[in-house]
Amino acid sequence: MTDSALETTRAAQKERTRQSIMDAALRLSHEQGFAQISLRQVAREAGVVPTAFYRHFESMDQLGLALVEQSFSTLRRMIRDAQRDPDTFANIIDASAEILVRVVKQNKEHFGFVARERNSGSDVVRLAIHRELELFIAELSVVLVRLPHIGSWSSDDVRLAAGLFVRNMVYRAEQVVAMPDGRTDREEEIKDKARREMRMIVLGFEKWSSDG
Amino acid sequence: MTDSALETTRAAQKERTRQSIMDAALRLSHEQGFAQISLRQVAREAGVVPTAFYRHFESMDQLGLALVEQSFSTLRRMIRDAQRDPDTFANIIDASAEILVRVVKQNKEHFGFVARERNSGSDVVRLAIHRELELFIAELSVVLVRLPHIGSWSSDDVRLAAGLFVRNMVYRAEQVVAMPDGRTDREEEIKDKARREMRMIVLGFEKWSSDG
DNA sequence: CGAGTGAGTGAACATGCGTACACTCAAATA
DNA sequence: TATTTGAGTGTACGCATGTTCACTCACTCG
């Protein structure tokens, strides 16, 4: 009846199994891609019999949707933290590069999942990711519009700029995910490239607004 | 013995079958992704018995590599044509947007294949695509370096800029591929967005060189 | 405490898969 | 013309898959 940390109730045990299925799927996806893995593989990796899978998800597609949701809640936490950080407005570029690399490194499975499944796999998973990325771009637009040069732009232009930013961040996130664990030199290199790219884009912003 | 157009020699027939296998794979990939399709599906779609597949490719991976090669030869022809076109230097942005949409529309299967399989599927196909994209970025760098503002940059910066350009073009190419056939309004919209994005990036180029 | 619920089990199934093998029979070659 | 070659065939195999069904038995709740 209590909901303490070491819960042994039925509901808590079910939740634990559900999570171990999701973790197993994330782990296997990392090596083969979500669309390539089978229900039986997931069940095996999760230490559960294939039929037990159905107690938690009605199909692999539903599992995929759950993973999309979980991954993007990580992503949203990232942008929320970034907005709270006072450095963000002082120097949005360095702060963004820093936060990007740090958070992605801490959540490789989730970001890897989004980056990988964004353009492949089942339609339902791909569409869910694209919808979430659109939402993410919309959120970033709200942040951008408060920046010095951008306040006066059309909302269409802001969206376009936010899209450029997000797609570039997703690309660099992919590289962080692909990075071998020990290589902090590669990490600095990626951070530096992300920084320079963002600077190029932001410089474009400035010129854009002064032109028109 | 002659090599006329309607060749019926053994070698010509073999080539025809090989091509029909590649076409079948491209068609099926469009709907399910290359990694999801089976050797037997490909053979069936090509109108050939499964074992005949092995007369032409030793595995699905080898088929995938052949498709990467064929797709990129299309891409390379595109950039070569763009360089020949005198308008390109006069107005690189409008010309690029125009060429991008036109050529991608004419080769949806190939561009779709590259866009889709770039981040998924078998390791060997993914790595081959990334290598080819690096080559493509290198080629574009050679074009960029001859533009007014860029001549004085470090080669590292040129590469970075070329990367921004190529990744954005790949993204817009994806959209053209995903576009329903009749929708020329969507086509103009994509072209317009590509143009504005490239302008933003290029404006960044100008400021970059005046700052640095 | 005693009945009922539902997470997890284990056997069974039809299906599609990759690949091995022995084959045919037209075109190429000698 | 007689022989060789090799693209395409047909059968057969063992294996992994998704889903079904009847089951157990610990936990929940009246």
Band (A4; pLDDT cuts 50, 70, 90): very low
- Give the pLDDT band of residue B210 (cuts 50, 70, 90): low
Total domain count for chain B?
A: 2
Q: What is the CATH number of the domain that holds A171?
A: 1.10.357.10
Average pLDDT across chain B, whole number:
90
Q: How many CA atoms lie within 13 A of A103 on its CB side?
A: 24
Share of chain A above pLDDT 70, in %: 95
Of A116, A199, A201, the CB nearest to B119: A116
Choose the final residue of a domain: A57, A83, A102: A57
Quick: pLDDT tens for A113-141.
Answer: 999 899 877 889 999 999 999 998 998 89
The verdict on A53 and A67 lying in the same domain is no
Q: Nearest Cβ partner of A201 from B35, B193, B200?
A: B200
For residue range A85-110, what is the model confidence (pLDDT) as tens digits? 887 777 878 988 998 999 999 999 99
Contacts of B204 in chain A (CB under 8 A): 199-205, 207
What is residue A145's DSSP assignment? T
CB contact under 8 A, A200 and B206: no
B147 and B51 within one domain: no
Q: Are residues B34 and B74 in the same domain?
A: no
User: Is the CB of B9 within 7 Å of strand D?
Assistant: no
Same domain, B83 and B121: yes
Q: What pLDDT, on the 0 to 100 scale, is given for residue B4?
A: 41
Over 80: is that where the pLDDT of A209 sits?
no
Task: Give Cα separations from B44 to A89, A156, B53, B63 (angstroms).
Answer: 58, 47, 10, 15
Let me know whether A82 and A53 are in one domain.
no
CB contact under 8 A, A119 and B118: yes
Interface test with B, best of A200, A201, A206 (most B CBs within 10 A): A200
Q: Nearest nt to A55, CA vs C1'?
A: C7
Q: Tell whether B207 and B112 lie within a shared domain.
A: yes
The answer to whether the Cβ–Cβ distance between B203 and A199 falls below 8 Å is: no
Pick B207's closest partner by Cβ from A164, A168, A203: A203
Mean pLDDT across the stretch B28-32? 92
When mean pLDDT is compared across A17-21, B30-34, B38-42, B64-68, the lowest value belongs to B30-34
Give the domain extent around A158. Answer: 59-211
Q: Nearest 10 degrees: CA dihedral of B52, B55, B59, B62?
A: -130
CATH number at residue B6: 1.10.10.60
Helix and strand numbers, DSSP H then E, in chain B? 9, 0
Which nucleotides of chain D have an atom under 7 angstroms from any protein CB? 6-12, 16-22, 27-29
**Residue A39 CA to D10 C1' — how many Å?**
33
- Contact (Cβ atoms closer than 8 angstroms) between residue B34 and residue B98: no
> What's the mean pLDDT when you consider all of chain A?
90
In chain B, residues with a C-beta closer than 8 Å to the C-beta of A164 are: 168, 197, 200-201
Domain end (from A9, A28, A57): A57
B190 in the same domain as B170: yes
Chain A contacts in chain B segment 153-212 (CB below 8 A): 157, 160-161, 163-164, 167-168, 171, 174, 193, 196-197, 199-208, 211
Residues A89 and A179 both lie in one domain: yes
pLDDT > 70 in chain B, percent: 95
Pair B27, B97 in one domain: no
Whether chain B has a CB inside 8 Å of the CB on A134: the answer is no
pLDDT in tens, B82-102: 778 887 777 878 988 998 999
Cα–Cα dist B177/B111, whole Å? 7
Span A171-181, average pLDDT: 92
Whether any strand C atom is under 7 angstroms from the Cβ of B119: the reply reads no
- The pLDDT of residue B208 is above 90: no
Local confidence band at A1 (pLDDT 50, 70, 90 cut-offs): very low
Most confident of A18-22, A182-186, B5-9, B72-76: A18-22
**Could you tell me which of A72, A51, A69, A52 has the C-alpha nearest to residue A61?**
A69
Asked if residue B48 lies in contact with residue B21, where contact means CB atoms within 8 angstroms, the answer is: yes
**Same domain, yes or no, for B69 and B168?**
yes
Which residues have CB under 8 Å from A37's CB, separation 6+?
A: A25, A28, A29, A60
Shared-domain flag, residues B26 and B125: no
B159 and B138 in one domain?
yes
Q: Which chain B residues are closer than 8 Å to A199 by Cβ?
A: 204, 208
B208–A202 CB contact, under 8 Å: no
Task: Give the model's confidence band at A82: pLDDT under 50 very low, under 70 low, under 90 confident, else very high.
Answer: confident
Q: Which residues of B touch A116 (CB under 8 A)?
A: 119-120
As a whole number of Å, the CA-based R_g of chain A is 20
